[in-house]
Each structure stands twice: as structure tokens, then as C-alpha cells.
Amino acid sequence: MKLGVFLVLFSNKSLEEALDYIKEKGLDTVEIGTGGFVGEAHCKPSDLLADDEKLKKFKEAFTSRGINISALSCHGNPLHPNKEIASRDHQAFEETVRLAAKLGVETVVTFSGCPGESDHSLNPVWNTCAWPNDFSEVLDWQWKEKVIPYWRAQNEFLELFGVRVAIEPHPGFVVYNTETLLRLRSECGDRIGANFDPSHYFWQGMDPVACIKALGKEDALYHFHAKDTKIDEQNNQLNGVLDTKSYTDIANRSWIFRTVGYGHGEDTWKEIISALQTIGYQGAISIEHEDALMSVEEGFSKAVSFLQGQIIKEGAAEIWWA
């Protein structure tokens, strides 16, 4: 495993500036945003696919610095009931897969997507309970009519290009936990696996270590995001974790995203790291930042220090940096 970063953190810098910055921090692995919610600040697949010289220059930005690309990421909703949005995000996914093949990058990260409740919907509908029965019926329709047909076709497309997709389980989308990720993989094909972000598991009350091991048994963990969540005990006791307040309403939310180490301590993160080692995960630990209490630079620097510190303390540098 290698410590890396999701480069969208530094979208305000040019590609070269961002790569130089993370190199100074001692990292040599990056995840690149290629569309969808994360944008195209450092990489526009359509441009690179259409121009061999641009593609060559893009590759050289990494090889000249000894930096590897762990994944291309195009988080979007290709199942959106708005056909224009669905088409845009599907195109981003297809272009990202094609670009990954040209770059020799094995993994593309995205969301599963979420349809509406019918063919007449205007917006996605994510159900959180089985009753009244309308909810169960909608969920069954979504999987059978939209989710499974779409991802079966994408599994075949991925096979053509020798690329795999790491679906990031996230509430709001049909794949949001271990069970739904494994269902998608079982129904649609083994080119589909997980991008594991512990922060999404923490705030739903799941145990990341148990989930990592469950995914590992199926060889279904393809990529990893290093991000934390802090549960506000008082707000959570009053309102639970189904919190729809703005992420900026920090004082009243039941939980907020934090930099690694600021939601859960060293012991928890050591267990997570050990679980990854146990299942034989060899990919990147890609630092992500959505901490409203820290600037990007502060959160990133503290995450690097925290994770590198654990490596040294555990005496496992030869494992991590192999």
C-alpha cells in the first residue's frame, strides 16, 4: 500500500503545481478527478482522448516526477431521471474508462447512481425504510428496471477495456453499504468492486473493519479513501444519523466529516489499516478532505502526518511503501 491523495483537493492549483506540492509532502500516488461532482480541474478526458500530444504531455507530468495514478474518479449519477444529467455523467464515465485504459490505470472510481421512483420522476429518490409498502415496491423497481440493467452493460464495457470500477458506497445512492455493494457485484459482474471510504460507514453506524473484511472475502475492495467522521453525541442522541441539515450547520448536525484522526483515534485507524493488510489490499490510501473545520492545506498536512506517524510507530514501513 502507498499513501496518496485525491488531487481534487488542490483544484485551485495547476496540475504541475499540485503534483509538485504533494511531492514535497513525500507522496508519490494520486487519484485524479475526471468529471461528475468532482470536476475536471486537472484532467479533461475528452481532450486527452482526442489529442495524442496532449495525452503524452499529461503522462509526462507524472512520470517525470515519479508519481503514480491510483485511480481516475468521475463521481456522478448516470441513473439520474433527468436524461440530460444521466447522459452527461454516463459520458464522463465512458470517457474515463477509455482514458484509464490508455494510461494503464486499472481503477475508475464513481457512485452507483440513483434513479427516480418511476419513469416520470424529475429527481432521484433514495428510500431509507421498507414500509409503507410503496417504498419497498419503488426500491424493487429501481434495482430491476434501472440499476441492474445499467451496471450489467457497464461491466461488459469495462471488460472490453481491461478496467474495473470502484463504486463508492454513499447514502443517497442505491449502493450505500456492504450489502448493496455486494449485491451489485453479484448481479452485474466482478469488474465491479468498492471504493471504501470509512467516513461513510462511521456515520451510518457500521464497523469499517468488519466491512473491509467482508469485502475482502469477495476480493471486492478496489480502492480506499482516507477520511473520518465525527459523531456529535448530543445531537445524535436527539436526532439520529439521518441528518439533512446543511454541512455548514456544524453546531447542530449529528455528524460532520473530519480529517483522519479527528473523528476516531489512532487505535481505530490502526485497526482499519491492519484490516486492509489482512485482506491483502495493495492499493492506495487516498487522502480526501471535506473537513469544514480545517483548510485544505491544514487538513491534508495533518492527515499525512497522522498516517505516516502510524506507519512508523507500527514498524510496518516496508509493508506500506512496498
Q: Which of 29-33, 159-163, 175-179, 307-311 has the lowest mean pLDDT?
A: 307-311
Closest residue by Cα to residue 69 from 58, 80, 82: 58
Give, as one character, the DSSP assignment of residue 223.
E
The pLDDT, as a whole number, for residue 322 is 34
CA-only gyration radius of the chain, Å: 19
Average pLDDT over every residue of 276-304? 97
**Average pLDDT, rounded, for the chain:** 95
Q: How far apart are CA 98 and CA 237, in angstroms?
A: 47
Report pLDDT for 287.
Answer: 98
- What is the pLDDT, as a whole number, of residue 309? 77
Residues 210-229: tens digit of each pLDDT: 999 999 999 999 999 999 99
The answer to whether the beta carbons of residues 182 and 220 sit under 8 Å apart is: yes
- For residue 318 the three cell numbers come to 516496508
| All domains of the chain in start order, with CATH | 2-320 (3.20.20.150)
When comparing pLDDT for 99 and 319, which is higher? 99
Percentage above 90 pLDDT, the chain: 95
In this structure, are residues 77 and 85 in contact, taking their beta carbons and an 8 Å threshold? Answer: yes
Decide if pLDDT at 175 tops 70: yes
pLDDT over threshold 80, residue 316: no
Backbone angles phi, psi at 270, to 5 degrees: -65, -40
Query: Got the DSSP string for 155-221?
Result: HHHHHHHT-EEEE---TTSS--SHHHHHHHHHHH-TTEEEEE-HHHHHTTT--HHHHHHHHHHTT-E
- CA 42 to CA 58: how far, in whole Å? 9
Output the pTM of the full model.
0.95
User: Residue 315: pLDDT above 60?
Assistant: no
CA dist 56 → 43, 96, 148, 188, 232 (Å): 13, 16, 37, 34, 48
Which DSSP symbol is given to 251? Answer: T
3-class DSSP assignment, residue 143: helix
User: Looking at 3-17, 58-72, 185-199, 301-315, which range is the least confident one?
Assistant: 301-315
Instruction: State mean pLDDT over 43-53.
Output: 98
Q: List Cα–Cα distances, 171 to 29, 63, 104, 168, 176, in angstroms.
A: 28, 37, 31, 10, 5
pLDDT category, 310, cuts 50, 70, 90? low
pLDDT, residue 74, reads: 98
Give yes or no for residue 313 having a pLDDT over 90. Answer: no
What stretch of H or E contains 273? helix 266-278
CB atoms inside a 10 Å sphere around CB 275: 21
